Amino acid sequence: MRIVLFAAVAISLLGFVPAKTQAAGEVVLEEQEWSFDGPFGRFDRQQLQRGFQVYREVCSSCHGLDYIAFRNLQEIGYSEDQTKVLASEYTIEECCDDQGDIFDRPAIPADYYPNPYPNAQFARASNNGALPPDLSLMTKARPGGPDYMYNLIIGYEEPPTEMAEEMMVGMYYNTVFEGNQIAMAQQLFDDLIEYSDGTPATSDQMARDVSAFLHWAAEPKLEVRKQTGVRVLLFTFIFTVLAYLLKRRIWADVEH
């Protein structure tokens, strides 16, 4: 009886898991091996820096990264001075000086990454009516996370014949985007950028790096979360074993 009931509970718990995956639709994502997968997963700082380079040199002309401040880049291995230099390349509009005028100043590490467009209307107007979404939470906002991101960026093809007719003007065929028509043109081509660490910049490599970087941007506390988890779980496990032994001992005199 007990086992059956436990099994039933387990099955009923499984019951709601598929609810999450259904939104991914029929598209099969080609899953990548990420350094941050698994119970002890960690970010690969080198990869994150490469990914940041891709974001900065390619994606940042259209996509914002609202939740990342320059100071946060120290978490992926840049020194304080490097972030200062990096920030100073951007200008921030500040309100206001003593005369009440808006003025420009160089960004400092505490500033957030500036958005490429002043507002959403402007962004749409510059992109054929489509809004390039902010990327700082993107991997958590799509089923499949970094795998979706990777597949999306390299998922450009000629539309299959039965779709070719339907393609709207200014739309591109993409294998994983919902509806297969995306307003973002293919962005990555081999050797589009030159990696500062010398890694060959194939489009595959860049897609993987920028996806890893954006996953860090979405979940910057992933490492400390998993590390804390290991310690907490170990402690809880010992607690549970001791509680069990104590329970056996105390119940030894009860017939049941």
Partner 1 sequence: MSTEKGWGMRAFDWFEERLPIVSFIDNSVGSKYPAPKNLNYFWNFGALAGLVLVIMIVTGILLAMSYTPHVDHAFQSVERIMRDVNSGWLLRYMHANGASFFFIVVYIHIFRGLYYGSYKSPREVLWWLGIIIMLLMMATAFMGYVLPWGQMSFWGATVITNLFSAVPLIGDKIVTLLWGGFSVDNATLNRFFALHYLLPFVLVGVVVLHIWALHIPGSNNPVGIDAAPQDKIPFHPYYTVKDMFGVGVFLLAYFTVVFWFPNIMGHTDNYIPANPLSTPAHIVPEWYFLPFYAILRSIDDKLTGVILMFGSILILFVLPWLDTSRVRSASFRPIYKVLFWVFLIDCVVLTWCGAQVAEGLPLILSRVGTFWYFFHFLVLLPVIGWIETPKPLPISISTPVVAKPAE
Task: Look up tokens 């970094």; give the residue.
Answer: 146
Q: Answer for the pair 148, 215: CB distance below 8 angstroms, yes or no.
A: no
For residue 211, the tally of other CB atoms under 10 A from its CB is 27
E runs forming strands in 44-191: 91-94, 103-106, 172-173, 181-182
The reply on whether position 16 binds partner 1 by CB under 8 A is yes
Show contacts with ligand HEC in window 173-212 (CB under 6 A): 177, 182-184, 187-188, 210
Q: Answer for the pair 152, 176: CB distance below 8 angstroms, yes or no.
A: yes
Binding mask 146-185 for partner 1 (x = CB under 8 A): --------------------------------x-------
> Which two structure tokens, joined as six digits, stand for 154?
């390299």
Smaller CB separation from ligand HEC, 133 or 220: 133
Q: Measured in whole angstroms, how far is the alpha carbon of residue 168 from the centre of its chain?
A: 29
Closest CA to 152 of 101, 207, 107: 207
* Interface stretch with partner 1, choices 13-21, 86-94, 159-167, 208-216 (CB under 8 A): 13-21
The reply on whether position 13 binds partner 1 by CB under 8 A is yes
Name the 3-class secondary structure at 92.
strand
Smaller CB separation from partner 1, 25 or 200: 25
Q: Answer for the pair 92, 114: CB distance below 8 angstroms, yes or no.
A: yes
Smaller CB separation from partner 1, 135 or 171: 135
Task: Look up tokens 């509009």; give the residue.
Answer: 93
The reply on whether position 130 binds ligand HEC by CB under 6 A is yes
Whether residue 95 is preceded by a cis peptide bond, meaning omega within 30 degrees of 0, is no
Smaller CB separation from partner 1, 106 or 229: 229
The reply on whether position 87 binds ligand HEC by CB under 6 A is no
The count of chain residues that interact with ligand HEC, using the rule CB under 6 A, is: 22
Smaller CB separation from ligand HEC, 109 or 211: 211
Binding mask 61-80 for ligand HEC (x = CB under 6 A): xxx-----------------
> Measured between alpha carbons, how far is residue 249 from residues 152, 157, 178 in Å?
58, 67, 59
Where are the alpha helices (H) located in 15-159, listed in sequence order?
A: 18-21, 45-57, 80-88, 120-126, 145-154
User: Using CB under 8 A, which of 8, 85, 125, 185 touches partner 1?
Assistant: 8
By the criterion CB under 6 A, which residues form the site for ligand HEC? 54, 58-59, 61-63, 127, 130, 132-133, 138, 142, 149, 152-153, 177, 182-184, 187-188, 210
By the criterion CB under 8 A, which residues form the site for partner 1? 1-2, 5, 8-9, 11-13, 15-20, 22-23, 39, 67, 72, 133, 137, 140-143, 178, 218, 220-221, 225-226, 228-230, 232-233, 236-237, 239-241, 243-244, 246-247, 250-251, 254-256
